[in-house]
Structure 1
């Protein structure tokens, strides 16, 4: 079995790292294609030295059974045009936001197996969340292999294709919203006299711990919030200010806007 990864940006590298670290494939079973490999000054990271690399997408696809399209939606059609004559019999795995199977299948035959995945950047530290959609022709062993890859990056969930834009807005874009929240918490700590590094550590660990409480318990986030809010205490005063500033509404609108942008990219 051989795998081609088209595009070795942040997410392509995260996927490659997960595969190698978890011994899902041997390095010689992987070929990565990226135009930057044509640059004479480019040097691949030491941990990736043993994989095969090329700047020719067609070469990578011809040698592979599975192809991961780890490219931005703005350029995926150029990549599809490049590989369409070589990839029709392969399993196609796309992580491009908003690009649906209808668009992908236009470049291949009716029998091409297509999988859509929406990962997120915490995959870089093996704490990612990846949503997966399989077209009808994808077989059980192929599903298992793809799930193994993305489980190496964190957690996975299978979804309907009609849910992928919502997933993109929530977990795909969500890390950026979380980072803004962490930065704001830390800034507030600095405003009240904390050292920057201390404030940032307190903020990040607070968010990490809060997330783990949600994931490891059966308690609704609202109930967990209530557990922190003592009557007439400090936390409820802060919560009241968040409500006054429409904090939850702003988050909901941010996810909605991101999902709508995903829909636009798919048109």
Structure 2
């Protein structure tokens, strides 16, 4: 996720690539980023990366958050941000023993590298100016939604984990297309563009999925037969169970 965020930021216009420093123990990953964005700064030193930084973003596994924080010293004005699931703003403040530190939790999904993320934001002690600045940065990489922290786990299941469920549907649709005689590259294009179009209809209009399904399902037609098969197979129930499992994992 860290690489995807760095790529998204570097592609934007608000943060020039030469204002971004990425720290990673993997030289291969750093070299790949540097090849894509030559002006971006890379290092193996976490402390070097955060020196004089305005925004320090931790994109590591949850169990690595505390060890990483113990090896760095934040500047007085730095916003401490994390993408780690399950680590609260209060946890982050406790790890550094700074209850008044400005804390931000950022929950993007992997589409951030394509500037198409649904990014969830919440934080403690942020000024309106800081909220506005953070919103601008991440709106360049898709769209954002600020939520109370108690809603974050549910929103993570919908958006951050949810993108994997969309891919799972697209994979299944591609496999069906192949079985019906469509070449794989054509099958995934057909399925992915259909999913993109469906999303645009919902995002750009005051409508509901049920209404849009009804528009396609003519009586006795092809689509209603497929919809009924999905219902018989428990498609909706499976999606709901998957989301709730991700929320409480």
Q: Same fold (TM over 0.5)?
A: yes
Contact 1:182 1:204 in 2 (8 A): yes
Contact 2:8 2:114 in 1 (8 A): no
Match of 2:40? 51
Match of 2:67? 78
Instruction: Please say if 1:190 is aligned against 2:178.
Output: yes
Contact 1:15 1:150 in 2 (8 A): no
> In the TM superposition, what whole-angstrom CA distance separates every residue of 1:139-186 from its partner, at most 9, and x where no partner exists?
122112211221111010111100110011110101111111011111
What secondary structure, in the 3-state scheme, does the structure 2 residue paired with 1:67 have?
Answer: strand
Match of 1:208? 196
What secondary structure, in the 3-state scheme, does the structure 2 residue paired with 1:185 have?
Answer: helix
Q: 1:129 aligns with which of 118, 125, 137?
A: 118
Deviation of 1:88 after TM superposition, in Å, equals 6.0
- Over aligned residue pairs, what C-alpha RMSD do you find? 1.8
Deviation of 1:74 after TM superposition, in Å, equals 3.0
Match of 1:22? 12
Q: Describe the shift of the 1:44–1:180 C-alpha distance in structure 2 as closer, same or farther (beyond 3 A).
A: closer
Segments of structure 2 that go 5 or more residues without pairing to the other structure are: none
Match of 1:180? 168
Instruction: Please say if 1:93 is aligned against 2:81.
Output: yes
Match of 2:213? 225
Q: Describe the shift of the 1:195–1:32 C-alpha distance in structure 2 as closer, same or farther (beyond 3 A).
A: closer
Contact 1:14 1:153 in 2 (8 A): no
What secondary structure, in the 3-state scheme, does the structure 2 residue paired with 1:53 have?
Answer: strand
Instruction: Please say if 1:163 is aligned against 2:151.
Output: yes
Instruction: Please say if 1:111 is aligned against 2:100.
Output: yes
Give, in whole Å, the separation in 2 of the partners of 1:256 and 1:24: 36
Match of 1:153? 141
Give, in whole Å, the separation in 1 of the partners of 2:18 and 2:90: 33
Q: Describe the shift of the 1:116–1:211 C-alpha distance in structure 2 as closer, same or farther (beyond 3 A).
A: same
Give, in whole Å, the separation in 2 of the partners of 1:153 and 1:33: 21
Give, in whole Å, the separation in 2 of the partners of 1:22 and 1:196: 32
Instruction: Please say if 1:13 is aligned against 2:8.
Output: no
Pairs aligned (count) = 247
Instruction: Please say if 1:68 is aligned against 2:68.
Output: no
Report which stretch shifted further, 181-190 or 46-55: 46-55
Tell which has more relative contact order, 1 or 2 (C-alpha 8 A, sep 6+).
1
Deviation of 1:44 after TM superposition, in Å, equals 4.2
Deviation of 1:25 after TM superposition, in Å, equals 2.5
Which TM-score applies when normalising by structure 2? Answer: 0.92
Deviation of 1:86 after TM superposition, in Å, equals 3.2
Deviation of 1:87 after TM superposition, in Å, equals 5.0
Contact 1:91 1:112 in 2 (8 A): yes
